[in-house]
Structure 1
Amino acid sequence: MSRLVVISNRVAAPSGSHSGAQGGLAVALQSALREHGGLWFGWSGEQTETFTGALHETQVDGVTYATVDLEEQDVEEYYEGYANRTLWPLFHYRTDIAEYERSFAGGYQRVNERFARTVAPLIRPGDAVWIQDYHLFPLGAELRKLGVENRIGFFLHIPWPPRRLLATLPGAKALAETMFAYDLVGFQADEWLQAFNEFALEDMGARMEGDMLHVGHRRVQACVFPIGIDAAEFVAMTQTTRARLTYRQMRDSAVGRDLIIGVDRLDYSKGLEERFQGYERFLEAHPEEQKEVFLLQIAPPSRGTVESYRRIRASLEGMAGRINGAHADYDWVPIRYVNRGYPRDVLAGMYRAAKIGLVTPLRDGMNLVAKEYVAAQNPDDPGVLILSRFAGAAEQLTEAVLINPHSADEMGDAIYTALRMPRDERIRRWRALMDVVEQKDVAWWSRAFTDALLTVEVAG
């Protein structure tokens, strides 16, 4: 069996604790690495004065974790710049805040070249290489330049934008051409796959033969592999001591009111401002529901050095204060807004206590919070998932209450519908959702991709 080499921007080496603090991607990749044996390579998260390519290595459960430090300029241009101020907003349809700086693009290319030079000597003949996400689009091409002939796959965790949006990126065609250095490219949802195919066919002159896209002498198979969660683990997590304690605390603090929960990284793609507006529209349209419900929004900060993230934090704090000021009473606050993160077992207890899971991103590659909320529910009395049509998860979770997050009225109506939904309908919807979450779990995702990578027809 081929050894697996995973390459990502950051490396999540196990800490030895199983408290549930690690995210779904780390869990999935560690599982695949343990199954195949291999190496996980990426940035350490630390900085150095001069890049040397010196490796920090550790081994856990037969898996080698190898990291390198980056220079301050690398972090500013590659990570904070091109990855998070150019590609992230553009690929989430926010051309209005995407920043196109030549230095950002230069730093992005430089770090991908450095990654390639550092990891190439670690790749053995027969290894299958699996590269993760938008930070590393050019890495496969750089490895090919160094003579790496192994099977190389790439998985994009975020959306791929429509061709007219992607065309606003300087060098868009060159970036898309790097995708043809891979043997297999995976997307979260059919919408993102179709957008990639359209750009390749219309803007790059690619041709489709069977399920292969061809450009020049290179060809790539592009497929959909929707990522999942470890459903069994998450269900079990709801029964842990800390989850059960959290559940009781949430129910006690609700004092008979219905809890609506949102859990999102503080990011403009998550539709948090629109969510607050939709919830406010619900309160205005149904004054009889005031004091009967409250929204708990958990939004841990991220990327605090980027101006657009500082702006959204200030905006949400202002909106929460305004809505609470307009509607709160001495014994009720409509929004509990919390800027901190919680371990996954604590979140499991919160999800289980919530009558509604409000997952309303403006664009999202997948959104695993939606799947975690479903997995956490009591089968005999489940809550209702309200889900944005523009999340990749909407292609799978069709029995959620699907909404347009840009419409405050539609969101307000959905909240009212969910609160009034009969128990038998809630159970029917939940069962259908849970079937998807269980069948297409994280093990299915990693196995489906690695199996496809190990069998894909490569160019001769």
Structure 2
Amino acid sequence: MSRLVVVSNRVAVPGEDRAGGLAVGLEAALRTHGGLWFGWSGKTVREDSGRLHEQSEGDVRYVTMDLDRRDHDDYYNGFANRTLWPLLHSRLDLVDYARETREGYRRVNALFADRLAPLLRKDDAVWIHDYHLIPLAALLRERGIDCRIGFFLHVPMPSADLVSALPEHARLFGSLYAYDLLGFQTSRDADRFRTYARIFGRATIDGDGTVVLPGGGRVAVTSIPIGIDATRIASQSAAAVNKPAVRALRESLSGRLLAIGVDRLDYSKGLPERFRAFGRYIERHPSERGRLTFLQIAPVSRGDVAEYRHLRDQLEGIAGHINGTHAEPDWTPLRYVNRNFAHATLTGFYRAAKVALVTPLRDGMNLVAKEYVAAQDPEDPGVLVLSMLAGAAAELDAALLVNPYDLDGVADAIARASTMSREERRERWQSMMRPIAGSDIHAWCRQFLDRLAEVAT
């Protein structure tokens, strides 16, 4: 069996507390195949960008690369997160069109290619992840690498007309044609890429969805929704019931129901709209007043970026207005927390919550939605209120699906969720657990790698 080489912006090296769902799945796949995980070390250095560090555990090598401050600012803080992130989430109003960061992004991808190419073998299966590294396969091909290479885009693929708003978009997104296999979260994302290739790459589309380029090159395109480790989440949440933080949360509710939201502090998550919808719920359903407490956990990310600082200020203002208007001496309607919690503790919070609000304005998948469902007590599960604009909505259609921009609609969904019968809650939960358990993170890895092997042969 060929060696697996995983390439991502960051690497979950042994001993580092980055054991998210994706890391769990990729590490399991690497252990199965034996392999190499390559990416940025997470360190910024004064000089010597591209210096490598290596460690091993079992049959897996972890090779990481330092970046200097300029490279990090242009590649990561700049083009990846101030240009591509808003573009891919259909926020053209927030796209930074600076040419300097665009060149820095390509420069760092070339550095990845320079350091990775000597480590590769002809029969390797290379799996590159996400928008940080879109041009990497093309740069590896320029350096003579001809092994099979697959790519998975974890965030949404926007429509062709939005992509075309990016200067030199064909140079960047055209580099995706260097991959053997492109993976997307949903069939709609895959179709949007095919449309882009047809319009701007003059490609035709085969009956199986393969993109066929004018020169005869072929790029297989598939949609495989990423999953979670459902068994682990379920056992973790059951064990977390007696954790001090979970007990303290339950006791603080004084018998009230809990609604929960857990999101990185990001404008794509629809947090201002969610807060306003919760305020609208209190106003539209006065008989529900004081029955439900909403806890929003939103750890700060990219705090040095102006848009994120503005978002944090905005949320604090909305939360203050809702609480100032509706709070009682013994009830604070909205609790807004900007800190991280251990993942095991979060699963306990999920299990304690009778309602989850997962209402992004745009999301590739959203694993919080799946984790919330997996964490529930099967005998008395909570209700998921889910944005129809999240990739997870395609699988979890038994959730209460909402338009996150429709504040009254979200408000009414909260009211319906908080009063739903146990029988209906159980039926909806069972319907959602079937795809979650059947297509977990390990199945996702297997399906992609099997498809990559099939394409290569």
**Aligning the two structures, in what range does the TM-score lie when normalised by the shorter sequence?**
over 0.9
SS of alignment partner, residue 14 of structure 1: coil
Question: Mapping of 1:188-267 within 5 angstroms?
Answer: 188-211=185-208, 212-215=210-213, 216-240=215-239, 244-267=243-266
Percent identity for Structure 1 against Structure 2 = 52
Which region of structure 1 is more displaced relative to structure 2, 271-280 or 166-175? 166-175
The reply on whether 1:153 has 2:147 as its aligned counterpart is no
CA gap of 1:243–1:35, structure 2 versus 1, over 3 A, is farther
Q: Is the 8 A contact 2:358 2:387 kept in 1?
A: yes
Structure 2 residues without counterparts, runs of 5 or longer: none
Question: Mapping of 1:288-327 within 5 angstroms?
Answer: 288-327=287-326
Question: Mapping of 1:4-83 within 5 angstroms?
Answer: 4-15=4-15, 22-51=19-48, 53-83=50-80
Give the distance between the partners of 2:440 and 2:384, measured in 1 at CA: 18
Q: Is the 8 A contact 2:241 2:247 kept in 1?
A: no
Amino acid of the residue matched to residue 251 of structure 2? Answer: D
2:163 to 166, 178, 198: 166
Give the distance between the partners of 1:319 and 1:60, measured in 2 at CA: 48
Deviation per CA, 1:411-449: give whole Å up to 9, x if none: 001001111111111000000101111001000101100
Q: Tell me how far 1:245 sits from its aligned partner.
A: 4.2
Give the distance between the partners of 2:335 and 2:144, measured in 1 at CA: 55
SS of alignment partner, residue 362 of structure 1: coil
SS of alignment partner, residue 173 of structure 1: helix
Q: Is the 8 A contact 2:388 2:402 kept in 1?
A: yes
SS of alignment partner, residue 385 of structure 2: strand
Residue matched to 2:2: 2
Q: Is the 8 A contact 1:269 1:364 kept in 2?
A: yes
Give the distance between the partners of 2:280 and 2:298, measured in 1 at CA: 21
Amino acid of the residue matched to residue 167 of structure 2? Answer: P
SS of alignment partner, residue 300 of structure 1: coil
TM-score (norm 2): 0.97
Q: Is the 8 A contact 2:240 2:246 kept in 1?
A: no
Residue matched to 2:445: 446
Give the distance between the partners of 1:298 and 1:154, measured in 2 at CA: 31
Structure 1 residues without counterparts, runs of 5 or longer: none
Q: Is the 8 A contact 1:247 1:352 kept in 2?
A: no
Residue matched to 1:364: 363
Give the distance between the partners of 1:179 and 1:419, measured in 2 at CA: 45
Q: Tell me how far 1:53 sits from its aligned partner.
A: 3.0
CA gap of 1:381–1:244, structure 2 versus 1, over 3 A, is farther
Question: Mapping of 1:305-454 within 5 angstroms?
Answer: 305-454=304-453
Amino acid of the residue matched to residue 126 of structure 2? Answer: V
Which region of structure 1 is more displaced relative to structure 2, 190-199 or 366-375? 190-199
Q: Is the 8 A contact 2:240 2:348 kept in 1?
A: no
Q: Tell me how far 1:263 sits from its aligned partner.
A: 0.1
Deviation per CA, 1:284-338: give whole Å up to 9, x if none: 0112212111100000000111111111011001111111111111111000100
Q: Tell me how far 1:16 sits from its aligned partner.
A: 7.1
Deviation per CA, 1:326-373: give whole Å up to 9, x if none: 111111100010000111110111000001011000000000000000
Q: Tell me how far 1:194 sits from its aligned partner.
A: 1.1
How big is the alpha-carbon RMSD for the aligned residues of Structure 1 and Structure 2?
A: 1.3
SS of alignment partner, residue 386 of structure 2: strand
Give the distance between the partners of 2:371 and 2:221, measured in 1 at CA: 27
Q: Tell me how far 1:242 sits from its aligned partner.
A: 6.7
Size of the aligned set, in residue pairs, is 455
1:127 to 124, 128, 146: 124
Amino acid of the residue matched to residue 11 of structure 1? Answer: V
Give the distance between the partners of 2:28 and 2:319, measured in 1 at CA: 40
TM-score (norm 1): 0.97
